[in-house]
């Protein structure tokens, strides 16, 4: 919104702004925030930031060395549409409290380093990406997780008919029109707010899941700008839903038997304004350039380890099952929605030619996920991976219908968070190039995810286990 901190400060003085809100991307991908009265907000905040405890909530530091600062980025300023009091919000970088240097583990800084590394290789000077935003909107979710009371009750008006209309059937929601689609106006409200905030919406529609599943797509933007916008989009979606007394969730698999929510990420590289993924000779598969095929090779070669970053929840792998258009195997194809990488058929021009990485989800930190994808793809280009020497396809068939012999040749994605973290443990050297990620960061991430999520879920009885084993 602002070209400099001076412009931001002038806006504060010229408008009736009461509060300044600083938003911080925590390690797990959530936003934290601290609010400052506008009358006391000054140039010093843009230079030194505001101190906060990096060991609580954000997950950046340990208790014994917890102090870090949140420094607002003036280019990210926006009038917050959900605060009753006029509030100007900024996204922040986390910096060290003493030297005010970029904090190494700050997700925004990690993604910036990935872009800097890309430019240092000479492969490209811009990476363009666009996540697809799949989410569910429920009327109510009641969760009980006590030793003697365990269960979840989900309520969604779209699948419970009051007699005035037919309820949406299981897997029957794709692009349904009103009145079956009860969320049209809500998605439109979200889209209009995003447009007002400078985020270009491509379209929105009801998704396949009958129980309130929606999708909003945006146009491609440069990294890391698209990551900042992704955080804003989730913020708007959740707050508009809350405004209507509903709950929006990006949980990968909130409803058994229904499709889950992925984060399909469209990607392409550019150098000196020239798109790099289009084969002008039109000799390669789907008119993909050698660079694009090498980039695909890198993503697929590191796909198992990458899933420890892009799918870092136990729920992620309840979505990645056959039969729901979710990728299970690491291969690419033209238009095939069971592929880990799909080449959109509609992207035929040189500028539109892109790939779509389909296995990730929003339980990951968007900055870390995009950085990981970029580093994996670049590793393929730098090392000139010959995709024909690997079982990556292209396969223009429904893999689920193929025989076991065919399936056995294709590398499968991990089936659990534990296996994904084990894969990341054995394959993360590509993330360390250019000091984008550090070994310490990777080890801390793996340890935290094992302790906090994988083991915690594994040690708790599941409600379905009572049905299976109570009478044993």
pLDDT at 66: 63
pLDDT at 64: 38
pLDDT of 59 above 60: no
Among the listed residues 15, 47, 48, 53, the single catalytic one is: 53
Alpha carbon distance 131, 26 (integer Å): 19
pLDDT of 11 above 60: yes
- pLDDT tens string 160-180: 866 667 788 888 778 888 888
Among the listed residues 80, 106, 134, 158, the single catalytic one is: 134
pLDDT of 65 above 50: no
pLDDT of 385 above 70: yes
Alpha carbon distance 197, 159 (integer Å): 33
Q: Is 337 a catalytic residue?
A: yes
pLDDT of 144 above 60: yes
pLDDT at 55: 67
Among the listed residues 279, 356, 379, 453, the single catalytic one is: 356
Q: Is 282 a catalytic residue?
A: no
pLDDT of 3 above 80: yes
> pTM score, two decimals?
0.95
Among the listed residues 158, 207, 258, 379, the single catalytic one is: 207
Higher pLDDT among residues 56 and 176, named by residue = 176
Alpha carbon distance 202, 354 (integer Å): 16
Domain residue ranges in the chain = 5-103, 113-469
> By the 8 A CB rule, do 134 and 213 touch?
yes
pLDDT at 56: 57
- pLDDT tens string 241-298: 999 999 999 999 999 999 999 999 999 999 999 999 999 888 999 999 999 999 999 9
Higher pLDDT among residues 432 and 8, named by residue = 432
Tokens 């102090």: give the residue.
67
Average of per-residue pLDDT values in the chain? 92
What percent of the chain has a predicted confidence (pLDDT) above 90? 71
Q: Is 158 a catalytic residue?
A: no
> By the 8 A CB rule, do 363 and 318 touch?
no
Query: What is the torsion angle, in degrees rounded to the nearest 10, for the CA atoms of residue 93, residue 96, residue 99 and residue 104?
Result: -80
- pLDDT tens string 347-356: 889 999 999 9
Residue 2 pLDDT grade (very low, low, confident, very high; cuts 50, 70, 90): confident
pLDDT at 58: 54
pLDDT of 229 above 50: yes
pLDDT of 403 above 90: no
Alpha carbon distance 87, 193 (integer Å): 16
Residue 219 pLDDT grade (very low, low, confident, very high; cuts 50, 70, 90): very high
What is the mean pLDDT of the segment spanning 98-119?
94
pLDDT at 122: 97
Among the listed residues 358, 361, 422, 453, the single catalytic one is: 358
Could you say which architecture CATH assigns to the domain 5-103? Roll (3.10)
Helix (H) or strand (E) holding 145: strand 140-146
Q: Is 132 a catalytic residue?
A: yes
> Hey, which residues does 34 pair with through a beta bridge?
22
Residue 71 pLDDT grade (very low, low, confident, very high; cuts 50, 70, 90): very high
Read off the tokens for 374: 């970029």
Sign of torsion over alpha carbons 94, 98, 100, 102: negative
Helix (H) or strand (E) holding 205: strand 201-206
Q: Which of 43-47, 250-254, 374-378 has the lowest mean pLDDT?
A: 43-47
Q: Is 325 a catalytic residue?
A: no
Strands 67-72 and 87-96: antiparallel
Query: What is the torsion angle, in degrees rounded to the nearest 10, for the CA atoms of residue 311, residue 232, residue 81 and residue 25?
Result: 80
What are the strands, taking DSSP E only, across 209-352?
Answer: 213-218, 221-222, 247-249, 265-271, 274-275, 329-334, 339-343
What percent of the chain has a predicted confidence (pLDDT) above 70? 96
What phi-psi label fits residue 84: left (phi over 0), alpha (psi between -120 and 50 degrees) or beta? Answer: alpha
pLDDT at 467: 92
DSSP 342-368: EE-TT--STTT--EEE-S--TTS-HHH
414-418: Cβ within 8 A, 24+ apart: 414/304, 414/307, 414/311, 414/317, 415/317, 415/320, 416/314, 416/317, 416/454, 417/311, 417/312, 417/313, 417/314, 417/316, 417/317, 417/449, 417/453, 417/454, 417/457, 418/450, 418/454, 418/458
126's CB contacts (< 8 A; 6+ apart) are 222, 223, 269, 270, 271
> By the 8 A CB rule, do 210 and 159 touch?
yes
Strands 19-25 and 87-96: parallel
pLDDT of 341 above 80: yes
pLDDT of 427 above 90: yes
Task: Quote the DSSP letter at residue 398.
Answer: -
Task: Quote the DSSP letter at residue 210.
Answer: T
> By the 8 A CB rule, do 211 and 138 touch?
yes
- pLDDT tens string 181-215: 899 999 999 999 999 999 999 999 999 988 899 99
What is the mean pLDDT of the segment spanning 132-155?
94
Q: Which of 51-60, 210-219, 258-267, 456-465 has the lowest mean pLDDT?
A: 51-60
Q: Is 195 a catalytic residue?
A: no
7's CB contacts (< 8 A; 6+ apart) are 74
What is the mean pLDDT of the segment spanning 21-41?
94
Could you tell me how far CA 226 lies from the centroid of its own chain?
Answer: 10
What is the mean pLDDT of the segment spanning 19-42?
94
CB atoms within 10 A of CB 321: 12
Q: Is 116 a catalytic residue?
A: no
> By the 8 A CB rule, do 276 and 270 touch?
yes
| CATH T-level assignment (fold) for domain 113-469 | Creatine Kinase; Chain A, domain 2 (3.30.590)
């Amino acid at each position: 919104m602002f070209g400099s901190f001076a412009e931001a400060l002038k806006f504060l003085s010229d408008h009736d702004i009461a509060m300044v809100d600083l938003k911080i991307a925590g390690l797990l991908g959530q936003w934290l925030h601290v609010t400052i009265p506008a009358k006391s907000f000054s140039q010093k905040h843009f230079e030194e930031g505001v101190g906060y405890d990096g060991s609580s909530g954000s997950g950046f530091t340990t208790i014994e060395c917890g102090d870090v600062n949140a420094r607002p980025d003036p280019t990210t300023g926006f009038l917050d549409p959900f605060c009753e009091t006029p509030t100007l919000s900024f996204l922040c970088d986390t910096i060290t409290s003493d030297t005010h240097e970029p904090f190494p583990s700050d997700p925004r800084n990690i993604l910036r380093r990935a872009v800097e590394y890309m430019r240092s290789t000479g492969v490209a000077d811009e990476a363009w990406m666009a996540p697809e935003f799949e989410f569910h909107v429920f009327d109510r979710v009641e969760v009980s997780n006590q030793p003697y009371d365990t269960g979840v009750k989900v309520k969604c008006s779209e699948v419970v008919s009051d007699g005035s209309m037919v309820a949406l059937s299981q897997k029957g929601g794709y692009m349904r029109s009103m009145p079956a689609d009860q969320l049209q106006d809500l998605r439109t409200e979200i889209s209009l707010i995003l447009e007002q905030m400078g985020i270009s919406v491509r379209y929105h529609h009801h998704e396949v899941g009958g129980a309130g599943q929606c999708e909003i797509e945006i146009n491609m933007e440069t990294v890391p700008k698209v990551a900042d916008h992704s955080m804003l989009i989730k913020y708007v979606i959740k707050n508009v839903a809350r405004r209507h007394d509903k709950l929006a969730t990006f949980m990968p698999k909130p409803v058994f038997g229904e499709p889950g929510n992925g984060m399909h990420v469209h990607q392409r590289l550019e150098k000196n304004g020239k798109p790099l993924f289009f084969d002008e000779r039109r000799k390669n598969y789907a008119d993909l350039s050698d660079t694009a095929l090498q980039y695909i090779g890198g993503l697929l070669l590191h796909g198992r380890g990458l899933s420890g970053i892009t799918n870092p929840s136990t729920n992620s792998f309840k979505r990645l099952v056959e039969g729901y258009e979710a990728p299970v195997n690491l291969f690419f194809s033209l238009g095939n929605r069971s592929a880990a990488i799909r080449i959109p058929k509609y992207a035929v021009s040189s500028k539109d030619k892109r790939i779509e990485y389909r296995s990730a989800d929003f339980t990951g930190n968007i900055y870390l996920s995009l950085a990981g994808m970029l580093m994996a793809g670049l590793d393929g280009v730098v090392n000139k991976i010959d995709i024909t020497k690997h079982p990556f396809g292209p396969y223009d068939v429904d893999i689920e219908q193929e025989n076991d012999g065919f399936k056995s040749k294709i590398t499968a994605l991990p089936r659990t968070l534990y296996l994904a973290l084990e894969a990341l443990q054995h394959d993360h050297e590509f993330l360390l190039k250019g000091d984008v990620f550090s070994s310490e960061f990777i080890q801390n991430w793996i340890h935290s995810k094992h302790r906090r999520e994988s083991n915690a879920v594994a040690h708790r009885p599941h409600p379905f286990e009572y049905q299976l084993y109570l009478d044993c």
